[in-house]
Structure 1
Amino acid sequence: MALSDRIALAERIGEFRYSPLDHARFAYPWETEAMPASGPRTWQAEVFQQIEEHLANPETRHAPCRIAVASGHGIGKSAGISMINKWALDTCVDTRIVITANTEGQLLTKTGPELAKWAQLAVTGDWFKVNATSIVSTMGDRSKSWRTDLVTWSANNTEAFAGLHNQGKRIVLIFDEASGIINKVWEVALGALTDEDTEILWLAFGNPTLNTGSFRDCYGKSRNMWKTRQIDSRNVEGTNKKYLDELVTTYGADSDIVKVRVRGMFPSASSMQFIGMDLVEQAQKREVEALRSDPLIYGVDCARFGDDHSTLAKRCGRDARSRPWLRWYGADTMKVAGDIATEAMREHPDAIFVDVGNMGAGVVDRLRQLLPDMLIIEVNFGGKGRDAVWANGVRVKTANKRTEIWTSMRSWLEHGAIPDDQGLSDDLTGPEYGYDEEQRLALEKKKHMKARGLPSPDDGDALATTFAEPVAPRSVPGYMNPENYGRSRGGDRYAELD
C-alpha cells in the first residue's frame, strides 16, 4: 500500500474514535465469501452505540463506562468482543486492553483465536501483530504501550489487573464468560477505573450460569453502575432456532437450563445454592397477614467490629416484613442489648433468640437483666442439628444447629414475607451447601463464604435464628379454642366475631 493510501486510511479510521459501529461497518469485508453477513448483528450494533453515546458526550467521556451482557448461546458474543477490541486499538494511540475469561481454556482456545481472526480480517490487519497471548502494535517501539493482553487468573493470583493504568489515554477491560470469574478478580479490577481524564470501558459478557457473584450483581445491587441487557438467543440473527425451540419444548420455558442457555436469564438457583433467588423474590413480593395467635419472635445475630454488623430480625408467623428490623455497625454489647430491650418493651415479643457467637453471650446476659420476665434463649450455631423440613414436607438430617434453622427458614420462605432489601436478599442467596461425612446437610461456613469474596450473612442469620425453637401461640379467641367446642355464649357461637 502506498504511503499516501496508508495516511488516508489512518485519517479515515481516526474518524471512528468514538464509534465502534461505524468502524465495524468500514473495517471488515462484509458480504463476501469470508464474511457473508451484511454487518454486525442487531444486539452488537446496540452495544456499540451505547459505547459511542458514552464517549461522544464530553460530560461522560472520562467516567467509567460499564456494560454487562447476559445471553443465551450462539449470539456472536466472541465476535462482538473482537470487533470492540479491534476498534479500541485502531482508534486511539497507546490503548491498553486486558481481556480475561472464566477459565484459561476459554481464554486461550476460544476467545483468543476469535480475537486473532477478526484482527487479521480487518483492513488495518497489518497495524498490529497477533501473538499467543497478546496483540501488539507494529509501529516503532510502541509494542509495550499499545496492546491487548489475554490475562489468566487464579484464586491465589488476582493481582494481574491491579496495575492496569493508562492516564490520559484509553483503557478497556473485558470479561468473557463473566459469571465464572470470582468476586476477588472483580474487586481488584476496580483499581483500573481510577485514572483521571481517561477513556475507560469495562465490558462483561457471558451466559448467566450462576445466580450469585459479581456478574449477577450487575443486574442486582450494582445495577445503578452498569448498563445491562439480557439477550434471548431466539431473537438474534443467525442462531439455530430449531435447536433452541427443542430445548424450550423439552425442558420448559421456565426451567433453569432454558433460562441460562436460551433466554439469557439467571437461574432460579445455582447448582449448590442453598436458597434460590426465586424463593427470595417471591417472599419479597408476597402479601401476608399474621394471625392473632401468631407469636412475635425476635432473632438476633451479633457481630462486633469489621465489615459485619449486628441485626435484629422480627417475625410474626408468616410476616417478617411489617415490623422494621434494626442493624448496628461497630456497636458494643450494651448498645445492642439496650436497643433491643427498648424495642421489646414496646412490642412485647413472645421470645428473643440470640446467636451466642461473637459478643452474643454478653447480649443474652444483659437482656436477661433488662427484661427479667421475657423469654431470652441462647442459640449455639455449632450445636447439634435436628431433622428439619427442606420443602414440601420432606425432612432432612442437618449437620449443626445453623444448618437446621436455615433449612427451616428455607421452607418458610415458600409462604412467608420478607423486606424488599438487597442486603437481605444477598445474604439469603449467598451460602452454598454440601454434606458431611455422615451425609447430613451442611450449610457453607462463613469463613468459606468470605474466601469466595462474600460477606457474613448477618441479616440471613438473624432471620434464621427465629426458627431455633418452637414458640407457643398466643392466646386465641374462644371460638378457636378446641376446649370450647360445642359451647356457646348466650346461644351465639359466633359472638366473638363481632
Structure 2
Amino acid sequence: MSKPFNVIAGIEQLLDLYWDDPVSFAEDMLGFDPDDWQRHVMIDVAQYPRTSVRSGQGVGKTGLEAALVIWFLCCRPNPKVVCTAPTKQQLHDVLWAEVAKWLENSMVKNLLKWTKTKVYMIGHEQRWFATARTANKPENMQGFHEDFMLFVVDEASGVADPIMEAILGTLSGAENKLLMCGNPTRTSGVFYDSHNRDRSRFRTHKVDSRNSKRASKENIQMLIDKYGAESDVVRVRVYGEFPKAEADAFIALELAELAASATVDAVGETLHLGVDVARFGDDETVIAPRIGMKVFTLRCYNKQDTMETAGRVLNIGKEMLSSYPQLQFVEIKVDDSGVGGGVTDRLNEVIREEGLYGWRVIPVNNGSKPTDDEIEHYENRGTEAWAVIRDVLQECFSKHLQGEPVSIELPNDERLITQLTQRKYRMTSKGKLALERKEDMKKRGLDSPDRADAVVLSFVTEKVVHYTSQRPAGW
C-alpha cells in the first residue's frame, strides 16, 4: 500500500486519475468492492445529473452513498456535497457514520477532516466540504451554490415534496448532481415520480434483495413466510417495488364481518380484559372481555374518572369469573398512556389489598417501541398490537376458504366493525408499517377507535407486552 497523499499532490493526482471513474476510486482509495449494480450507479452519477435507486433492504446502498460522497470531495475542485435523510437518526447514525467508516481506513484520510456535521478538505474548510442536513425544512436545502455540487438523499421516499423541490431548484449548474436512494415506500412524491412519469429525466435502478450477496437470505424468507410473497411489505423491503396501495385499511372489512357473524365457545382458563381509557369528552372508555377466541359484548362508558373505570373493570372480572367456573386467571391489559396510567395504578392497588390471586395488570404503551426489537416490522407497539388481531383474522379467513369453521368470534357491533376496518396504514421511510394516527382519523371525520383498541388490547400477548409491575401480593 502506497503512502498517504499530501494535500497538494494528492488533489492533483486524484483529479487527473478519477474524475469520471468513481468505481476505480472506490476500489483503489477506499478498498470498497462494489457489486455490479453499485458499479452501474457509480458510473451513472459520474456521467449524468440525476440518478435514482429504489431497493430492498440490506443491499449496500449506504456504503455506495458514502463512497460517492468521498469520491466527489476528492475528485472535484471546491465542491459542495449535501447529504440528507428524513430523520436525524438515519442521517447521522447511519449515512454520516458510514462516511466516517470508509474514510478512516482510506488512502485519502489525510486529505479530509471528518466532523459530526461536516467533512472538509484540509486547508479549504469554507468552500470544499460535505455537510449533513436533516430533511425537515426546505431552507435547509437552499443557499448552496457551486460549480461542482452533489446532493445525496437517503431514504428518499420519506422526504417531503417541498424539500425535494428545494433541492431540485438548487441544482442549476452543469456539474450539479443528485443521487436519491431508498426503499420505495410511497406511491407519490418526487422519488416515486423519478421511477415513473419523470423516468426520462433520471438514470433509474431497481435492486432486489434476493439478488444481493449482502442481504440476509434468512430474513428475506422470514418476511415472505410472514407476510406473503405479494404483500406490500415484501414488495417494498425485498423486491424494491413500490407498494400496490399507499394507504389502505389495515384490517379488511371481510375479515371483521366474518368474525362478527360467528359463534364460538369460550374455551380457556384465562379471562382477558382489554381496557381503552377515554382521553377526551366525546370518546368512550371501553372494556372488552375475551375468553379463548370469543370476545364478549363490549362495555362502553362515557365521562368516567379513573376510579370509576377501575371499579367497573374489577366488577366485570368478578362477574365473568362467577359465570365461567373454568376461569383461573384474569389478565387486564390497559392502555397505560395518558389517563390510563391512573387506572393501572388503582387496579394494582386493589388487587394487592384484596389479595386477588391469579389477577394481574398489564400496562401497554402504544407509542413505545415494538417489542420485537430484533426484526422491527412495525413503527410502534400500537401497530404491533393491531397486527396480532389482524393476523388472527387473516388466518381464520384463509382456513374458512378451505372449508374449516370460523374460529374467532367478535361482537356483532357495527361501531366496532367500522373502527376496525376504517383505520389505515402507511409504510414509513424505513419500510415499517405504521397505523394511521387517531388525530388523522378525526380529521377524516371518523370516531376515535376506542372499541377497536379495547378488542386489540384483549389480544395482547406476552410476546407483545413487557411487564413493568410486580406481581400483586398474595400470588
TM-score after normalising by structure 2 = 0.51
- Runs of 4+ that moved beyond 3 A: 1-12, 271-274, 432-435, 437-440
Matched, 1:270 2:235: no
Q: Name the CA distance, whole Å, in 2 between partners of 1:88 and 1:153.
A: 21
Question: Which sits farther off after the overlay, 265-274 or 234-243?
Answer: 265-274
Give the counterpart of 1:147 among 115, 129, 133: 129
- CA distance change for structure 1 residues 232 and 4 in 2, over 3 Å: closer, same or farther? closer
Q: Name the CA distance, whole Å, in 1 between partners of 2:145 and 2:249.
A: 36
Counterpart residue number, 1:352: none
Counterpart residue number, 1:159: 139
Counterpart residue number, 1:475: none
CA contact (8 A) 1:120 1:126 kept: no
AA aligned opposite 1:114: E
Counterpart residue number, 1:13: 14
Structure 2 spans left out of the alignment, 5+ residues: 251-413, 416-421, 423-438, 450-475
Matched, 1:194 2:195: no
Q: Name the CA distance, whole Å, in 1 between partners of 2:167 and 2:184.
A: 20
Counterpart residue number, 1:41: 35
Q: Name the CA distance, whole Å, in 1 between partners of 2:162 and 2:86.
A: 13
Counterpart residue number, 2:30: 28
AA aligned opposite 2:43: Q
Q: Aligned with 1:144: secondary structure?
A: coil
Q: Which has the higher contact order (CA 8 A, sep 6+)?
A: 2
Q: How big is the shift at 1:236? A: 1.2
Matched, 1:99 2:83: yes
Q: Name the CA distance, whole Å, in 1 between partners of 2:69 and 2:249.
A: 35
**1:408-447 maps to which residues of 2 (within 5 A)?**
434-435=441-442, 436-438=445-447
Q: Aligned with 2:199: secondary structure?
A: coil
CA RMSD, 1 decimal: 3.1
**1:16-415 maps to which residues of 2 (within 5 A)?**
16-29=18-31, 39-54=33-48, 65-139=49-123, 142-154=124-136, 157-166=137-146, 169-195=147-173, 198-271=174-247
Q: Name the CA distance, whole Å, in 2 between partners of 1:10 and 1:162.
A: 28
Count of paired positions: 264
CA contact (8 A) 1:68 1:226 kept: yes
AA aligned opposite 2:208: D
Q: Name the CA distance, whole Å, in 1 between partners of 2:161 and 2:5.
A: 49
CA contact (8 A) 1:128 1:136 kept: yes
- CA distance change for structure 1 residues 178 and 6 in 2, over 3 Å: closer, same or farther? closer
Q: Name the CA distance, whole Å, in 2 between partners of 1:181 and 1:4.
A: 37
Q: How big is the shift at 1:7? A: 6.1
Q: Name the CA distance, whole Å, in 1 between partners of 2:215 and 2:58.
A: 6
Q: How big is the shift at 1:41? A: 1.6
Q: How big is the shift at 1:434? A: 3.2
TM-score after normalising by structure 1 = 0.49
Q: Deviations over 1:224-279 (max 9, x none)?
A: 211111110110122211221232233222110100110001111123599xxxxx
Kindly name which structure, 1 or 2, has the bigger radius of gyration based on alpha carbons.
Answer: 1
Q: Aligned with 1:244: secondary structure?
A: helix
Structure 1 spans left out of the alignment, 5+ residues: 31-38, 55-64, 275-395, 398-406, 408-431, 441-498
